């Protein structure tokens, strides 16, 4: 005979599973948004064609790290060079 609280345990396990899936979907959507924004930002940057190509290759080869480095290092460098 199952304990009286078995339905509570089943519901909490389902809640935990759904929370994990929701978090994974949110992280995936966030990464995808970062990747697409980085690609548009690279293409529209004032860098020369060769530098844009290098950043695009880096973004595709190492998607998460490449995108983060673009926003931390590359984007600021592009606009700093344009000012001179």
Question: Looking at residue 5, what DSSP letter applies?
Answer: T
Residue 18 pLDDT exceeds 60: yes
Query: Distance between CA 42 and CA 9 in Å, rounded?
Result: 49
Smallest Cα–Cα separation from 59: which of 29, 46, 72, 83?
72
What residue segments make up the domains of the chain, in order of their start?
Answer: 6-83
Residue 24 pLDDT exceeds 90: no
Structure tokens at 46: 């004032």
Residue 77 pLDDT exceeds 90: no
Q: Which helix (H) or strand (E) holds 52?
A: helix 49-61
Residue 19 pLDDT exceeds 80: no
Q: What is the pLDDT of residues 33-71, one digit of tens each?
A: 999 999 999 999 888 889 999 999 999 999 889 999 988
């Amino acid at each position: 005979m199952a304990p009286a609280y078995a339905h509570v345990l089943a519901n909490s396990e389902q809640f935990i599973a759904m929370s994990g899936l929701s978090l994974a979907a949110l992280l995936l959507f966030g990464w995808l948004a970062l990747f697409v924004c980085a690609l548009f930002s690279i293409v529209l940057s004032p860098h020369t064609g060769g530098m844009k190509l290098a950043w695009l290759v880096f973004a595709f080869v190492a998607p998460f790290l490449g995108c983060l480095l673009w926003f931390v290092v590359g984007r600021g460098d592009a606009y700093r060079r344009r000012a001179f």
